[in-house]
A and B are shown apart, each in its own frame.
Chain A
Amino acid sequence: METQNDLPETPLRSFKLSHQVLSLTEISLEHRRIQGMVELTIVPNNDCLRIIRLNAKQLNIERVFLNDVCQAEFIYFDSFHNVCEMENRSLETYAKKHLMAAKITDPDLNNGELFIKVPPAGYAMIQAGLTLRIRIQFNFSNPKSGMHFVLRPPSASSSSAWKWAHMYTNCYENSSRLWFPCVDSYAAPCTWQLEFTVDKHFTAVSCGELVQVISSSDLSKKTFYYKLRTPVSAPNIALAVGPFEIYADPQITHEVTHFCLPGMLPWLKHTVQYLHGAFEFFEETLATRYPFASYKQVFVDELDRKISAYASMTIASVNLLHSKEIIDQTYSSRTKMARAVAEQFYGCFICPHRWSDTWLAKGVATYLCGLHSRQCFGNNPYREWVQLELSQVVKYEERYGGVILDCSQPVAAAAVPKFSHDHHQHHFPKESSHTVSPKYVKALRRKSHLVIRMLEHRIGQQMLFRVFNKQLALATNAAGTKIEAGLWSQLLISTNSFIKSIFTVTGSDMSLCMDQWVRTGGHVKFSVISVFNCKRNTIELDIRQDYIGKRGVRQYNGPLMVQLQELDGTFKHTLQIEDTLTRSVISCHSKSRRNKKKKIPLWTGEEIDMDLSAMDDSPVLWVRIDPEMILLRDLIVEQPDFQWQYQLRHERDVTAQFQAIRALERYATSATRSALEDTIENECCFYRVRCEAAHCLTKVANQMVDSWSGPPPMLDIFIKMFGSLQAPHIVRLNDFSNFQLYYLQKAIPVAMAGLRTLHGICPPDVVRFLLDLIKYNENSQNPYSDSYYRAALVTALGDTLSPGYQSLTTDSSSSISTDPKLVLSAVTRFLRGEHHLPSYKYMVLVACLKVIRRLQKLGHLPSLPHIFRSYSQYRSYLDLRLSAMECLVDLVQVHESGEDLEHLMHLLETDPDPAARYGLVQLLIDNPPFTRDSSNRLDQAELSERIWRNMNSLSRNTKLRCYMVDLYYELYVNERPNFWFPNMNHIMEDSSNSNSENEFVENGTKICGNPRTSIFEVSDNQLMKMEEENQQEEFQKTIKFAEIDSMKWVPSDNQAMDLQEKEKIAETEEQGYDYETEVDENSFPISDNYHKYDETYEVAKKKDWTKHKHQIDSYNHKNHKYKEDKERQQSYPPFLRL
């Protein structure tokens, strides 16, 4: 296997990395400061290596030495700083520049932020084939991302300052450059030596084996020495430092170690008790030993993801920990930890070659993890999960456009039919990990998992394992060799090498399949109608692809599996799809004979009795399309309702049952009702199908409310299942030892709360029933916690509420009507109790907050944001914060309240907890405060500038920057905001001249312009001219703007800033890196960008606006008036406000 030959041609890096030493000599948690050095051992490819390009970001490079003796000069710049200037605000332009910025520093293109010039004295050292050591000393403080510090609040007692403080790296995709200089590419593996000097209280956990720990002579510090003999790439290096409690895995004591924060040990022990099973499973499945010598799991606070895997270590969120009595969390914690182990094999040990190949690592790891969950939790949850993944991919693609797994290579033209291309472009470039939307990455992971499943289906599971095994065997072999052997490329996989290894193992060529599903985006969408032809005893299937050309939908030509359940058994047919409309005639195997009583065989081999009275002449009971979920497809299947009911009752596959439930929503008949009720009661049925059936029954019952007789639906079922023996209307003492019943007990009340009478209110019986459930809830005899159950009851209680008409002017408790009052008193009681005796993860409190918001929304309570604001503050628990933020986002959406939006934006920009920031921005993206079409009070210039500014200033935080782009897209689509009337000609000129203003630091001197061209080519005159033009134009626009819409104008933007001012800001920002600049760093706290922007704005105002003072004054006056109006409005009841 020569993987190198398969790689697309690129300007190869002119050196190979063989070894790297990373040493952080000072890690100061209080000051968030790191001092360290790296030493890269490289092997130059040719003798004329003159510039060495490395990645480094937000680092202050002190000195660079070659081979310890020769000091080298270097240039440093950050291309993501100020990606696209203010006046040219269209996402299309931004996307182009964004991609360029990413490419300028892309290590795979032999680029980087740090250019090291080899001095003439060092030329002699460079000889192809001999090693060269580059030592870089660096320091940095207050990292914006990439490394996170969790510190004790200053107000807390200072007795044990170190007790909770910890830090860890949290790099998004390949962003290790944020904490040490490196070749930040997956494609550059090397061996590592890591050293971390920390305070004596702390443990430093990092990749590789812990070789030794040495105390300093005064015993105040400890140095941890790690060694990683397996070559891994820089993005897979991580570090966590904290006063961790150490727990050696009881099964694999020597190799596997778990770490948690002080006090969490009992939960840690319980949470990780099954981890060894994952190791065994993966080693057995892949027939390969775990590739690293050790494995470490660190549970930390404020992690922005649930878990992230690095070479031989995993950093996981503390929120995954749980105690014995928690049921629901167990599943997700175990799955997440297993996935991290799977990623050790694929993702950490075997790396994707470049960004376009990450789908392979992600897909294989997710696929393996899925198999492990299937082994642990059973086949039904597994199939349900696959179905869920499929539907989420479909949903994403229909919303945002097709996900292309490997975008590096165009598709062979013959492979794909003409309509298969998805013409809808994404609003971000997907070619780089630093520009792509994080939501896209999530969808990509899901989709790649499904594609791996597809491969499994094509070549067989055993063969697929053999492919994996071969790759791993080659990689293991390569990992044992030295760099000189040139085998390290076998640690990398790419789409092409994967196709090739499949070919060598199985002999089948997968490139067509890859072209279809990997290199093209989108999914297929079938509309299927079946008609029975009585004379010929055939089924005529119409399979149409009507939605081609719609967003995310593409054409599919190829085989499609259809499964017919007939009276005589199950029959599979493979149809060939060739056009947008395929009509196929399938002759039935069995005659209609409904009078005969005979058992009907299913595909599982069972034979069951069915009541066939509902059938018509057709011998077909139900039709299933693509039952194994092989294709990436969306299905619209038309069947008569009785067929769906048969499918729900008798089909054994859970995905078919889910499908039937979803379809039955449209057929509100008593037959549907009884089918659903039977499903809920059927103990042999998968519990989630039963829960889903309960929710469906709610919808069906609401549709047939006038013909419904008897007690509210599901009441009897619930009483039968959970009522106590002697007094059935009182719920039994909780006993959750049967998990199926537990989940059902949680789901049914919520489903019932959705019921409505003819008048659109919840039946009083149901309200009373729910209140009784709360009243009689008794958990003292239960070995499991009822937190989730109580939270579900609170949610259900909230769902019973319907809009209050009479209470438009609620400002006292006396005006609330009865039912909401009951709900409110129950909720407040829960809420108060939660503060002192919290439930697991404040479950109940979270539910209470949402109910309070619902009460507000429905007009029972005044819409006051202060409660949610207080919960959204930093230092509250994350789940609480997120739910409070959700309420605030909703408040902003409904009431268009600018203040709350301001509060949220403030949190988004300044919050110390990255998890909360990402959570919040996702909430805003999913529920945008306004859309472009609607006229909305919040749609103001200030906001769009603010987001735009963030897109340009968040140079270090890739994830948040990309989220900001998403948010901008949600609010303004691709165009510029409504209130903006630019002069198009100017813009065009602008973009051609000053396409990106990047900052260069050349040993302390700074150059402005495009790093690639203008640094040498653009003359000073040109620069001057550009500046002048910009200045005038900007100024004119600003004045115009202020005149146009003074109502929407609030003076905190930097419109009036000319280019010089911008530079000034940039300069102050850059001082963090620029060690020779003499300006005192502390004079401008780097963390507070906007403060600075404001200040500069003030300066600009004084300087330029004096001429137009009267204009400004009048505008200020108007603005003041506007504010007054707004304040007055705030005092109105919510529905009377503008």
Chain B
Amino acid sequence: MDKVEAISMPNSDAYRRVLNKTISQMLLDKGAVLASNQCLETLTQMMQSLLVEIGNSSHNYCELGGRTMPTVGDVNLALINMGINVGSLEAFSRRANVATIPLPAQQTQQRQLNLLQAGTKASHPHYVPSYFPPMPDPHTYIRTPTYRQPVTEYEAIRKKAASQKRDVEKALTKFLCKTSETNNLFPTEDNMFPLIACQSVFPAYMAALNPTDQVFDFEELEYHYLVANRTEDAPSKEDGEDGDSENEELDGHKSKEEKPELEIKPNSTTNKAILDNPNIDNPYLRAATLPKRSKHSDSNVSSRILSNRNGSACSTAITPTPSTLEITTNSV
């Protein structure tokens, strides 16, 4: 008995559990002491199928009769049709020592929870037809800044912030210590105060001049600098442009034309600077001139020197491009 009771019913709903109990009871009535799990399951399944079939055919008969609710007659017909003796049912129900199976505990109906309403729903704007669903709660589409109740105690906040900061720092440094080589302050193995060993990086000045201990958000801080530098910064850009704009326009145009053949790629820093500042007239921001492979040598000073030198790397004669011609004519 105990055993039967103890059999757990996997994935059974309440009806099936009741059915199961019924079968067990019937088996007990019939004198069985023990039932295997499969057997019980099979019988339950059979019982369930039977009941479902009874129900189905009762329903069919009822529909056949043009009704929507089956009557006793429909059930009767169904039972008869399935070859079940209706009369024996009465004897079965009136048998001695009927053990009643308790009703399964009434499952408490889960009440539909009302969605939390935040704020009042807005009515539709006039151009939205009324059959559209109502507007959702305002918080879902309106960004409202929320302020936490300010903690009044300044000291407590500072303390908390400080200790948090310190904890983070401690944890981080501890982690860093464990992941990198360390120096010891003591000759023994005492490692209570390990120091991170000095690693050499190249170039050394890069890290030193680019401090990362604090990241400054320049856009946010721009205000501070703008106040001081407004007069300095603003005209500078214009100056660079309107200095001798026409010439530079021309120059810039020329250099643009030359660019493809001179192969300006931003790989070298010079070229990058040239590309960045196309309008600034500075001797260092001009592209390098190519030596011309033609024959006639120019008589400017530098080429004389060049030709004087034996076996130098670039002793080919030079014909300056327009920009350098200007310079050389000036210089001679």
**Is A831 an interface residue when CB atoms closer than 8 A count as contact?**
yes
A212 touches B237 (CB 8 A): no
Q: Does B283 contact A (CB under 8 A)?
A: yes
A839 and B213 contact, CB distance less than 8 A: yes
Chain A residue numbers with a CB within 8 Å of B281 are 253-254
Q: How many chain A residues touch the partner (CB < 8 A)?
A: 112
CB distance from A691 to the nearest CB of B (A): 24
Task: Enumerate chain B residues within 8 angstroms of A775, measured Cβ to Cβ.
Answer: 162, 166
Chain B residues lying within 8 Å of A26, measured Cβ to Cβ, are: 313
Q: Are B183 and A867 in contact (CB under 8 A)?
A: yes
A825 touches B213 (CB 8 A): no
With a cutoff of 8 Å between Cβ atoms, the chain A residues found around residue B195 in the complex are 828, 831-832, 867
Contact partner of B186 (CB less than 8 A), chosen from A222, A301, A813, A871, is: A813
Contact partner of B209 (CB less than 8 A), chosen from A262, A322, A783, is A322
Q: Is A875 an interface residue (CB 8 A)?
A: yes
In this assembly, does A179 line the interface, its C-beta being within 8 Å of a C-beta of chain B?
no
Expressed in whole angstroms, the minimum distance between the Cβ of B284 and any Cβ of chain A is 5
Once bound together, how far apart are the Cα atoms of A222 and B214, in whole Å?
41
Q: How far is it, in angstroms, between the C-alpha of A724 and the C-alpha of B154 when the chains are bound? A: 9
Interface residues of A in 313-332 (CB under 8 A from B): 318-319, 321-325
In the complex, the answer to whether B193 meets A730 with C-beta atoms within 8 Å is: no
A1119 on the interface (CB 8 Å rule)? no
B289 at the interface (CB under 8 A from A): yes
- Chain A residues with CB under 8 A of B316: 217
The answer to whether residues A246 and B213 also contact, given A25-B313, A832-B196 and a CB cut-off of 8 A, is no
Check A812 for interface membership: any CB of B closer than 8 A: yes
Tell me if B14 counts as interface (CB < 8 A to partner A).
no
Q: How far is the CB of A1059 from chain B (nearest CB, A)?
A: 42
- Which residue from B173, B205, B225, B302 sits with its C-beta under 8 Å from A829? B173
Give CA–CA (A778, B154) in the complex, Å: 14
In angstroms, Cα B299 to Cα A79, docked, is 43
Which residues of A (822-868) have their CB < 8 Å from a CB of B? 824-825, 828-829, 831-842, 844, 852, 861-862, 864, 866-867
Minimum CB distance partner of A250 in chain B: B236
User: Is the pair B173, A833 in contact by a Cβ cutoff of 8 Å?
Assistant: yes
Q: Report how far A223 CA is from B206 CA in the complex, Å.
A: 29
Tell me the B234-293 residues at the A interface (CB within 8 Å): 236-237, 239-240, 243, 263, 267-270, 272-273, 277, 280-286, 288-291, 293
Residue among A214, A223, A841, A879 facing the most chain B CB atoms (10 A cut-off): A214
Shortest Cβ distance from residue A976 to the other chain B in the assembled complex, whole angstroms = 39
CB interface residues, A 19-57, toward B, < 8 Å: 21, 23, 25-26, 37, 39
Contact status B213-A253, CB under 8 Å: no
Which B residues, 191 to 230, have Cβ-Cβ distances below 8 Å to chain A? Answer: 192-214, 216, 218, 221, 224-225, 229
Contact of A783 among B188, B216, B239, B270 (CB under 8 A): B216
Contact partners of B288 in chain A: CB under 8 A: 213-215, 222
Q: Is the Cβ of A837 less than 8 Å from the Cβ of B239?
A: no
B320 at interface, CB cutoff 8 A: yes
In the complex, are the beta carbons of A873 and B284 less than 8 A apart?
no
| Segment among A203-211, A304-312, A1014-1022, A1047-1055 that sits at the interface with chain B | A203-211
CB contacts (< 8 Å) of B134 on chain A: these are none
Indicate if B5 sits at the interface (CB-CB under 8 A).
no
CB pair B186–A812 under 8 Å, yes or no, is yes
Instruction: Check B214–A786 contact: CB distance below 8 A.
Output: yes
In chain A between 767 and 800, which residues have their CB closer than 8 angstroms to a CB of chain B? 775-776, 778-780, 783, 785-787
Set of chain A residues within 8 Å of B243, measured between Cβ atoms: 253
B186 proximity list for chain A (CB < 8 A): 810-813, 861-862, 864
Residues from chain B with a CB closer than 8 A to the CB of A829 are 169-170, 173
CB-based contact A838/B207 at 8 Å: yes
Q: Are B211 and A785 in contact (CB under 8 A)?
A: yes
Within 8 A of B (CB), among A254-281: 254, 257, 261-264, 267, 273
* Chain A residues whose C-beta falls within 8 Å of the C-beta of B172 in the assembled complex: 833
Tell whether, in the assembled complex, residue B212 and residue A214 are in contact, meaning their CB atoms are under 8 Å apart: no
**Of residues 142 to 170 in B, which have CB atoms within 8 Å of A's CB atoms?**
154-155, 158-159, 161-162, 165-166, 169-170
Which of A192-200, A504-512, A647-655 lies on the face that meets chain B? A192-200
Q: How far is the CA of A783 from the CA of B215 in the complex (A)?
A: 10
Interface residue B301 (Cβ < 8 Å from any Cβ of A): yes
Whether B324 is near chain A, meaning CB under 8 Å from some CB there, is yes
**Bound-complex Cα distance A248 to B278 (A):** 12
Which A residues are in CB contact (< 8 Å) with B312? 23, 25, 197
Point out the residues of chain A lying under 8 angstroms from B229, CB to CB.
273
Closest Cβ neighbor of A212 among chain B residues: B324
Residue from the list A209, A321, A787, A876 in contact with B204, Cβ < 8 A = A876
A320: nearest residue on chain B (CB-CB)? B209
Q: Which residue from chain B places its CB closest to the CB of A777 in the assembled complex? A: B162
A811 adjacent to B187 (CB under 8 Å): yes
CA A247 – CA B263 in complex, angstroms?
A: 21
Q: How many B residues, CB 8 Å from partner?
A: 91
Asked whether any CB of chain A lies closer than 8 Å to the CB of B185, the reply is: yes
> A835 near B305 (CB under 8 angstroms)?
no
A212 touches B289 (CB 8 A): yes
Report the minimal beta-carbon distance from B234 to chain A, rounded to whole angstroms: 11
Complex Cα gap A862–B183 (Å): 14
Task: Report chain A residues within 8 Å CB of B36.
Answer: none
Contact B204 A877 (CB under 8 A): yes
Give Cα A49 to B273, complex, Å: 51
- Say whether A203 contacts B309, CB under 8 Å: no
Q: Are A730 and B188 in contact (CB under 8 A)?
A: no
Across-interface contacts of B183 in A (CB, < 8 A): 866-867, 870
Interface string of A213-254 (1 = CB under 8 A from B): 111110101110101000000000000000111111011011
Residues of chain A contacted by B78 (CB below 8 angstroms): none
Instruction: Provide the bound-state CA to CA distance between A222 and B212, in Å.
Output: 37
Task: Flag if A875 contacts B305 (CB, 8 Å).
Answer: no
Q: Smallest CB-CB separation from A852: which chain B residue?
A: B185
List of A residues within 8 angstroms of B291 by Cβ:
214-217
Distance in angstroms from A857 CB to nearest chain B CB is 14
CA distance A829 to B176 in the complex (A): 11
Contacts of A323 in B (CB 8 A): 209-211
B322 to chain A, nearest CB (A): 12
Is B318 engaged at the interface, CB distance under 8 Å to the other chain?
yes
Contact A200-B268, Cβ < 8 Å, known A215-B288, A216-B291, A318-B209: yes
Q: CB-CB < 8 A to B159: which residues of A?
A: 730
- Given contact pairs A211-B327, A813-B192, A840-B209, A246 touches B202 in the complex (Cβ within 8 A): no
Q: How far is the CB of A696 from chain B (nearest CB, A)?
A: 32
| Chain B contacts with A in 304-318, Cβ cutoff 8 A | 305, 308-309, 312-314, 316, 318
A837 close to B212 (CB less than 8 A): yes
Cβ-defined partner of B293 (8 Å) among A217, A245, A841: A217
Contacts of B13 in A (CB 8 A): none
What residues on B are CB-neighbors of A839 within 8 Å? 211, 213
Question: Given A301-B203, A787-B211, A835-B199, 20 more contacts at CB 8 Å?
Answer: A23-B309, A37-B309, A201-B269, A209-B283, A212-B327, A216-B314, A219-B263, A250-B240, A257-B282, A322-B209, A727-B154, A730-B154, A810-B186, A829-B173, A831-B196, A833-B169, A839-B213, A862-B186, A870-B183, A871-B198
30 contacts between A and B (CB under 8 A): A164-B203, A193-B305, A209-B283, A211-B327, A211-B331, A227-B331, A246-B269, A248-B277, A248-B284, A251-B236, A262-B269, A263-B210, A264-B209, A301-B205, A318-B205, A319-B205, A323-B210, A724-B158, A725-B154, A778-B162, A811-B190, A813-B186, A814-B190, A832-B173, A835-B196, A840-B211, A842-B208, A871-B198, A874-B200, A877-B208
Q: Residues of B at under 8 Å CB distance from A?
A: 154-155, 158-159, 161-162, 165-166, 169-170, 172-173, 176-177, 180, 183, 185-188, 190, 192-214, 216, 218, 221, 224-225, 229, 232, 236-237, 239-240, 243, 263, 267-270, 272-273, 277, 280-286, 288-291, 293, 301-302, 305, 308-309, 312-314, 316, 318, 320, 324, 327-328, 331
Which 6 A/B pairs are nearest by Cβ-Cβ distance?
A875-B200, A832-B173, A813-B192, A726-B154, A250-B236, A727-B155
